[in-house]
Amino acid sequence: MPELSTSLFPPIQPLRHGMLAVDELHTIYWEEVGNPDGIPVIFLHGGPGAGLSPQHRRFFDPQHYRVILFDQRGAGKSTPLGEVRNNTTQLLIADIERLRDMFGIEQWLVFGGSWGSTLALAYGQAHPERCLGFVLRGIFLCTQLEVDWFLDGAQWFHPELYEEFVAPIPAEERMDLLQAYVKRIGSDDPEVFWPAARAWSRFEGRRVFLMPQPEEPPSDTLDLGVGRLETHYMANLGFFEDNQLLRDMDRIAHLPATIVQGRYDVICPPYVAWRLHRSWPGSVLNLIPDAGHAAMETGISRALVNATEQFRQNRRFG
């Protein structure tokens, strides 16, 4: 197990990687990392639309885990970038099952943060027999309350960022900021969609860490993927029925889960993680006292590594 001061495992390259056509429109990028005979785990990235990072491979001991990672439809290296057609939670769940079948995996640990936690819960409830357990971070259930908080609640903690975010939107459209951005980011005109996508991505990205971070240069892949897919999924409330993820918790309540949550997460507030924990008797909730939303904040990354190590130890001696 790594020293707590280092937290993440060392950088690692994939054993193999490739592209998988999942329908006539979408092709998804995938990679396999670690020990082919290790404990299988599926990694689900956030956003929607944020895509993978090499850092995501480092939450798992490569000697003991077989890690499958992929860019969800419209994200990262998957094509077409930012495509919202044929892009729903139910289709993402089908993609996960297609990958599981392709790799010949019977059951796996499900690991996801932020939107990845949403997708992890939805996948688990659709296919509980395929899940060994869950490691989840920054819980998001994609309810109207959470979407409203993400947009308008921002002004309570980051009024200057909120003012910047609403500035390009005419006053008559500001009562529904989400639809205003859906319209602009979904435009076919690059002079319309690029400024809107960058504004959306910047609005989120500057609130992710508890402490201010150096400004990242714009990324076409990240900005368009996050802008188009987050607005698409939020406008459709994740393609869920009302309160669906909490309503159907009985389907996975028997499985182990560790929930890692930043105490000062202003993207996905702790109240949501608390509600999930209270609905999941066997879950462990780890509130990190000096963290916001980002997986790479020291306390959160350490807790995630500890969770995967604890799961591995329990599998060995259980």
Which pair of structure tokens corresponds to residue 206? 């500057």
**Lowest model confidence (mean pLDDT) among 6-20, 43-57, 116-130, 219-233:** 6-20
The span from the CA of 12 to the CA of 62, in Å, is 8
Give the pLDDT band of residue 5 (cuts 50, 70, 90): very low
The answer to whether residue 2 is domain-embedded is no
Q: Omega into 281 within 30° of 0, i.e. cis?
A: no
Domain end position, chosen among 204, 238, 272: 238
Residue range 11-37: mean pLDDT, rounded = 98
The span from the CA of 200 to the CA of 223, in Å, is 8
What's the domain range around 47?
Answer: 16-142+239-317
Please determine, for residue 230, whether its predicted confidence score (pLDDT) is greater than 80.
yes
Q: What is the pLDDT of residues 189-200, one digit of tens each?
A: 999 999 999 999
Considering the domain architecture, whether residues 126 and 254 belong to the same structural domain is answered as yes
Q: Helix (H, G, I), strand (E, B), or coil: what is residue 269?
A: coil
**Lowest model confidence (mean pLDDT) among 69-83, 206-220, 255-269:** 206-220
CA torsion angle for 289, 257, 144, 271 (degrees, to 10)? -30
Provide the pLDDT for residue 258: 98
The gap from C-alpha 134 to its chain's centroid, in whole angstroms, comes to 13
Please determine, for residue 295, whether its predicted confidence score (pLDDT) is greater than 90.
yes
The answer to whether residue 246 is domain-embedded is yes
* Spatial contact of 231 and 48, defined as CB atoms under 8 Å apart: no
Please determine, for residue 146, whether its predicted confidence score (pLDDT) is greater than 50.
yes
The span from the CA of 204 to the CA of 153, in Å, is 12
216 burial (CB, 10 Å; 0-12 / 13-18 / 19+) is: exposed
Provide the pLDDT for residue 4: 38
The answer to whether residue 128 is domain-embedded is yes
Give the pLDDT band of residue 3 (cuts 50, 70, 90): very low
Task: Tell me which of 7, 114, 201, 301 is the catalytic residue.
Answer: 114
The answer to whether residue 8 is domain-embedded is no
The span from the CA of 174 to the CA of 167, in Å, is 9
The percent of residues above 90 in pLDDT, for the chain, comes to 94
Which pair of structure tokens corresponds to residue 290? 């000096």
Provide the pLDDT for residue 316: 64
**CATH number, domain with residue 264:** 3.40.50.1820
Residue range 151-165: mean pLDDT, rounded = 96
Q: What is the pLDDT of residues 68-109, one digit of tens each?
A: 999 999 999 999 999 999 999 999 999 999 999 999 999 999
Return the number of other C-beta atoms located less than 10 Å from residue 141's C-beta. Answer: 22
* Spatial contact of 116 and 267, defined as CB atoms under 8 Å apart: no
Provide the pLDDT for residue 224: 97
**Lowest model confidence (mean pLDDT) among 2-11, 183-192, 272-281:** 2-11
Active site residue 23: no
Domain end position, chosen among 207, 238, 269: 238
Provide the pLDDT for residue 317: 54
The answer to whether residue 118 is domain-embedded is yes
Considering the domain architecture, whether residues 245 and 233 belong to the same structural domain is answered as no
The span from the CA of 304 to the CA of 135, in Å, is 7
Residue range 45-64: mean pLDDT, rounded = 97
Active site residue 26: no
Domain end position, chosen among 238, 272, 301: 238
Residue 217 is which amino acid? P
Considering the domain architecture, whether residues 80 and 220 belong to the same structural domain is answered as no
Please determine, for residue 211, whether its predicted confidence score (pLDDT) is greater than 60.
yes
The answer to whether residue 39 is domain-embedded is yes
Give the pLDDT band of residue 239 (cuts 50, 70, 90): very high
Cα 234 to Cα 72, 278, 318: the distances in Å are 16, 24, 40
Provide the pLDDT for residue 6: 47
Largest CA distance in the chain: 61
The answer to whether residue 191 is domain-embedded is yes
Indicate the number of domains in the chain. 2
Active site residue 114: yes
The span from the CA of 261 to the CA of 250, in Å, is 22
Provide the pLDDT for residue 7: 84
Considering the domain architecture, whether residues 214 and 137 belong to the same structural domain is answered as no
